[in-house]
């Protein structure tokens, strides 16, 4: 991480970033990404938080950020963002507030809402060309309620509702492409363990107007079953194995912002996580490991 920027974050009192009384899991990749995103967006933001892990950031009467915070049901965050954006625009038009008091509207959701329950409302918001940033912390399951599988759960991962010997039989939904199909202003994938790539993308998104999506892969120690101290390493392995491509969509084009020089085998990423332990013990499942590797290889051959 850039040394000056790191010092700026490190020296802030915890209440400046996270509010008072917050309690999150150690090693949370989602919180890591939100820290970095907020450092760039700053206090002139309104976070519209759909129910999920990050709901734990706010403990009444305190909110986690220096800006504003609105809590909504899982499917309702884009509708809440619409109301806030409309209200701000009306206040600006009537000169009830000056331009320098305008705020960025940011939807904050987990993958359960972004990939599933809230997708319809999000699609409608994009059709209306809503000026908002949609930030999804993707921990690949319903992490706040016991890590049940979601539409973002990867193939063969074990969850609390996919306990068979082969794990989750489905495949992770491609939310990036679903957004791109709407022809929005900007879409990007990020990772807290790659802070400079994340910073460039958030700075770019902040300067644009219209629907903008940021999907942050969020390693989850409790849901993925690994030691919290390994969160950053697992995030970096997701990039090095090609499982999590860092890319952005802008001006009608998809550009990969970090391409691994030599991709590591996917098992280097999988074997670090308890949710994939059944692929290696008591007997190695080369078929399932091969299916995951084939899917990754197919992706990179197609770019």
Laid out side by side, the sheet with 132-138 consists of 68-72, 45-50, 104-110, 132-138, 211-217, 186-191, 246-250, 253-258
Better-predicted residue by pLDDT, 67 or 185: 185
Token pair recorded at residue 164: 């068979």
Which pLDDT score, from 0 to 100, does residue 22 have? 52
Matching residue, tokens 């809503």: 130
Instruction: Inform me whether the pLDDT recorded for 176 exceeds 90.
Output: yes
Least confident of 21-30, 170-179, 188-197, 218-227: 21-30
Instruction: Inform me whether the pLDDT recorded for 3 exceeds 80.
Output: no
Each residue's pLDDT tens digit, 200-215: 999 999 999 999 999 9
Instruction: Tell whether pTM > 0.75.
Output: yes
List the one residue out of 264, 254, 271, 273 whose CA is nearest residue 293.
264
Each residue's pLDDT tens digit, 65-96: 888 999 999 999 999 999 999 999 999 999 99
Write down all domains in the chain, each with its CATH number in brackets: 3-301 (3.40.50.970)
**Average pLDDT score over residue span 274-282:** 97
């Amino acid at each position: 991480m850039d040394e000056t920027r790191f010092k700026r974050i490190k020296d802030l009192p915890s209440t400046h970033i996270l509010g008072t009384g917050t309690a999150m899991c150690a090693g949370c990749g989602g919180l890591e990404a939100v820290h970095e995103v907020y450092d760039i967006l700053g206090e002139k933001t309104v976070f519209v938080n759909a129910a999920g892990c990050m709901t734990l950031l706010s403990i009444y009467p305190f909110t986690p950020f220096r800006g504003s915070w609105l809590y909504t049901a899982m499917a309702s965050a884009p509708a809440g963002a619409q109301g806030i954006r409309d209200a701000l625009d009306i206040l600006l038009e009537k000169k009830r507030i000056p331009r320098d008091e305008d705020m960025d509207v940011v939807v904050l959701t987990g993958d359960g809402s972004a990939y599933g329950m809230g997708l319809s409302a999000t699609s409608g918001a994009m059709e209306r060309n809503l000026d908002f940033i949609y930030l999804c912390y993707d921990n690949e399951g319903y992490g706040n309620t016991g890590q049940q599988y979601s539409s973002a759960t990867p193939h063969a991962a074990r969850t609390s509702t996919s306990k068979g010997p082969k794990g989750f039989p489905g495949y992770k939904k491609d939310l990036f492409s679903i957004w791109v199909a709407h022809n929005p202003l900007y879409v990007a994938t990020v990772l807290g363990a790659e802070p400079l790539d994340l910073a460039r993308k958030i700075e770019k998104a902040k300067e644009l107007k219209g629907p903008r999506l940021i999907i942050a892969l969020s390693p989850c120690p409790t849901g993925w079953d690994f030691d919290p101290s390994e969160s950053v390493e697992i995030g970096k392995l997701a990039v090095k194995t090609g499982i999590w491509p860092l890319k952005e969509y802008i001006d009608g084009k998809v550009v990969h912002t970090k391409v691994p020089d030599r991709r590591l085998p996917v098992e280097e990423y999988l074997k670090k996580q308890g949710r994939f332990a059944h692929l290696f013990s008591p007997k190695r499942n080369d078929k399932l490991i091969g299916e995951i590797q084939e899917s990754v290889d197919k992706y990179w051959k197609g770019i």
